[in-house]
Amino acid sequence: MSAEILNGKSLAADMRLDIASQVADLKEKTGITPGLGVILVGVDPASTSYITAKERACEEAGMYSEDVRLPAETTENEILALVQKMNNDPKINGILVQLPLPKHISESAVINAIAPEKDVDGFTPVNVGRMMIGQTCFLPCTPHGIIQMLLKAGVETSGKNAVVVGRSNIVGKPVAQLLMRKAEGGNATVTVCHTGTKDLKSFTLQADILVVAAGRPNTVTGDMIKPGATVIDVGVNRIPDETRPRGYRLAGDVDFESAKERASLITPVPGGVGPMTITMLLYNTLESARRATEK
């Protein structure tokens, strides 16, 4: 029997309607419109596509969006100055610097320059540290979106075996932390696998919840999945395909066709985790605006 599809697109749409309602309510009560500042350096196609989708989502939610697109040769000092300007701008409640940056720019220096109270990506050391010890903070958007998907689908995480494939700072490490924290959507026993893991299959077969964020197609196949497991595929890979209008098709890190015959619940690519990332960015920006009004 094929797995049930965990539709992130549908869930994201429902959440965005609720966010739009809350934005309208905040405007009416305080006169404040949540604002998101975005910095894009260079013309990476995937980054440009994400930023365009973010612009559309902000508009639909009734938020203010200020997007600055810079050439690849922009200097690090110029970007740091722009970040500081947004830090000081009361119209901007959240700052997003789209990664990756050109090689001549230090990503850590730029991220560290973002004020923690405007770090709606949840990447600064302050927010990462607060997440680690369970304090209030902005949670990274993709990991937070994954937890929301599990909660909305009624997936029990407490006491379950969760395996995360991938150890990136953006997805792997933070989603592992959220799954193990003593909170709703957490309290799981978590194993993190990576490129140094020997016999990956022996670990994935133990997973009640399997999160795959390896950045490589077909990292996990159906025979590597425990029957009845929940599979969250974070990967977005462009596979050459001359039959498609754009010359490629999107595929995850999991072989969907074989995996769906073993899993009980699985996310598709596209239409799974992706829509939730922008949704949680809007969620964090709204929360930042709320905190600003309280001050």
What tens digit of pLDDT does each residue of 186-241 get?
Answer: 999 999 999 999 999 999 999 999 999 999 999 999 999 999 999 999 999 988 88
Residue 98 designated active-site: yes
Residue 54 designated active-site: yes
Looking at residue 176, its pLDDT comes to: 98
Average pLDDT, integer, range 158-179? 97
Residue 1 pLDDT exceeds 70: no
110 and 183 share one domain: no
50 vs 136, higher pLDDT: 136
Give pTM, 2 decimals. 0.94
Looking at residue 11, its pLDDT comes to: 95
Residue 58 pLDDT exceeds 90: yes
Residue 84 designated active-site: no
100 and 40 share one domain: yes
DSSP state string for 131-175: HHTT-S-PPPHHHHHHHHHHHHTT---TT-EEEEE---TTTHHHH
Of residues 22, 98, 148, 177, which has the active-site annotation? 98
Averaged confidence pLDDT in the chain: 95
Structural domain that includes position 240: 141-274
166 and 218 share one domain: yes
CATH number for the domain that contains residue 248: 3.40.50.720
107 and 161 share one domain: no
In a domain, 293, yes or no: no
Count how many domains the chain has: 2
74 and 161 share one domain: no
In a domain, 14, yes or no: no
Average pLDDT, integer, range 20-29? 97
103 and 212 share one domain: no
Average pLDDT, integer, range 100-116? 96
Give the span between the Cα atoms of 236 and 138, in whole angstroms.
24
In a domain, 129, yes or no: no
In a domain, 187, yes or no: yes
In a domain, 111, yes or no: yes
Average pLDDT, integer, range 41-66? 90
Of residues 121, 208, 233, 253, which has the active-site annotation? 121
Residue 46 pLDDT exceeds 80: no
For the sheet containing 209-212, what is the strand order?
4-5, 265-266, 230-233, 209-212, 161-165, 189-193
Of residues 22, 54, 173, 260, which has the active-site annotation? 54
